[in-house]
Structure 1
């Protein structure tokens, strides 16, 4: 008796699409290519996702659902830090998701639920709605584990000595900063900065400031 084919459903479609994007990038995901990966005709996919946009929304949802849920028993600062670092781990596992999220102007209910539960950590910790409102603006994309970096993220190239000398003369402060620390050759942030350290440094700096404002009873 031939093996029974696994039933196609929305979860299976999204899982295959995420796996394809992980392997080849989001641009490689098409309804035709996804159908081939699943061993079905393209029309079979439309029973589960209406179009490419809905497919991308579903893929983003699948990634967001991998982020750790809020942990009970932690103070608000530790809980927020843990959740955002979980989001970062997930985004590093799915590098295409950052660009996909940035391309979307309307969040899905699952994305909104993630945002709502994260806001709930701040409010549950006693922060005012007013302070939390401004905190969320300041957090921006960091809530999802990524940030737009100040420095160019393209791979470093060999700079001729005369150009390096010119740069040092014309822009001495920039040169001093970008050459101040040992670099991680596997980094994707700037010309080799330590991604994880820079992200955690910024997050801790931010949370320290929020904590001070909260203790002062700050309001706008």
Structure 2
């Protein structure tokens, strides 16, 4: 359990203080260990005191999402939309990497929170003020998906916590699926990645992001529209 100074524990309870403590607790012990009871213990209050500020745990999680997204800050528009969008997304990625549980909680929300709507609106605004059409911007947001917040959904578990591949399994893989095995053992898997071993490291995230943004820029320059290419 994280320990707060006695002066902080005696401070009047507020929604901001509840959310700040919840985020810190999730950072320290993981989102699965977070409960209203444990949070109340952390704050030195009875559990019922929390419900004056958050109606239930789902509302608490919504507030925690917004607390993390607020760390992204306002966008920095520039004369060119592409570097502005790129910088915005990488800032979001940096914020979420500071809270490893945040991406999972965002994906679990049944409706977008106010801060998530605000962030999405700001990203759309960078495309639109940069001259991209509503049509292209609409398709861009679909193409980016969760990448607009700096994370991706991997097809296989290649995370830093995943067990290292068994040599016998790799030999069998190479015998039956040589191209898969070739990529699985490729040198591009950097054990010293800024995120950790595996595929979803910073350079690979930026590689995929740049592919998308370069492609969108090409479509923008060509005056692309979905109606012109339909059928």
Q: TM-score, normalised by structure 2?
A: 0.88
Conserved? CA contact 1:152–1:190, under 8 Å: no
Structure 2 counterpart of 1:22 = 27
Rounded to whole Å, the distance in 2 between the matches of 1:128 and 1:16 is: 42
Structure 2 counterpart of 1:166 = 172
Q: Does 1:117 align with 2:122?
A: yes
Conserved? CA contact 1:21–1:96, under 8 Å: yes
Rounded to whole Å, the distance in 1 between the matches of 2:110 and 2:186 is: 38
Rounded to whole Å, the distance in 2 between the matches of 1:30 and 1:22 is: 13
Shift of the 16–210 alpha-carbon distance from structure 1 to 2, 3 Å rule, reads same
Q: Deviations over 1:61-100 (max 9, x none)?
A: 0011111321133521111100100111111100001110
Number of aligned residue pairs: give it. 218
Q: What is the root-mean-square deviation of aligned Cα atoms in Å?
A: 2.1
1:9 alignment partner, one of 7, 14, 38:
14
1:140 alignment partner, one of 145, 167, 170:
145
Shift of the 160–78 alpha-carbon distance from structure 1 to 2, 3 Å rule, reads closer
Structure 2 counterpart of 1:152 = 157
Q: Does 1:211 align with 2:212?
A: no
Conserved? CA contact 2:195–2:202, under 8 Å: no
Rounded to whole Å, the distance in 2 between the matches of 1:118 and 1:50 is: 30
Secondary structure of the residue aligned to 1:22 is helix
Secondary structure of the residue aligned to 1:68 is coil
Secondary structure of the residue aligned to 2:187 is coil
Cα deviation for residue 46 of structure 1 reads: 0.7
Q: Deviations over 1:134-164 (max 9, x none)?
A: 1000100011110012332352335144x33
Structure 1 unpaired stretches of 5+: none
